[in-house]
Structure 1
Amino acid sequence: MEFTHINEQGRAKMVDVSKKEDTEREAVAIGSIHMKRETIERIMEGTIKKGDVLSVAQVGGIMGAKSTPNIIPMCHPINISGCDIAFKIDLEGLKIDIEAKTKTVGKTGIEMEALTAVSVAALTIYDMCKAVDREMTISNIMLVKKSGGKSGDFQRNVDR
């Protein structure tokens, strides 16, 4: 088996993508943060002392997507042409579902940016609400869609 991220000395390397064609690429990732009913209600009412939780989490998620190559060792820095994050409050399930859509035109994929955006958005929610709920749980972060590039399209069927 040949490893793509290992050099001849057996050490980590970043893959050379210079000969790959530029293609339009898109990725969608999802995740959830579970919390107490009181926490969700306070987010909805805007009574969390640190401010508008979902607005800050949206900005945090976008910043996370843009910072992906700084925290994931073998990730290439890429030009992100778009990043959007959506939140769905689920009072019955006591959770907030997070979805990140990322786009680029380039030589390598944008899946890690979408996954990082969801992760950072969830962590931002945790940070802003931890004073009222330290039992929050972040879960089910996953890639649900990917298009473009040599490996083609990917679609996961997910029931939320």
Structure 2
Amino acid sequence: MVDLHHAPVVTMPLRVRYHECDQQGIVFNAHYLAYADMAAFEFYEVVFGSKHYTTDHGVDLVVAETTLQYRAPARFDDDLGVGLSIEHVGTTSLVLGIRIHRDRELLLQGANRYVWVSLDTLRPTAPPDHIREAVLKAQQSALGG
């Protein structure tokens, strides 16, 4: 059964590299956030058509909070899927769910809460309507609507 709440907008394939692992051959925990950040660039491409679309329109997203739950280790040379889903769209915030799988096994789940900021002031701001609408459209599309 598909969990629609976590329907990914984007799933980025990734192969674990040797230097990302600790002495036990397990991916070091901080790399999972780097994986999510890499997938966020793919998210921008899918949702906005460009990595620079939001900054070209005077706003950007910054991470305000992260929660992660590690369920199973990833190891050197594993093929992973890093999925990002839209969990919440607020006035000045956006929560992206993070789910990392190896085949069908869920290795990590969590979320990044982002805040939209003005590039001029670096203070929280609502994004332009067309940006918010693109995010909502991507969320609906991922949910099958």
Fold conserved (TM > 0.5)? Answer: no
Larger Rg belongs to: 1
TM-score, normalising length from structure 1? 0.30
Greater strand fraction, Structure 1 or Structure 2: 2
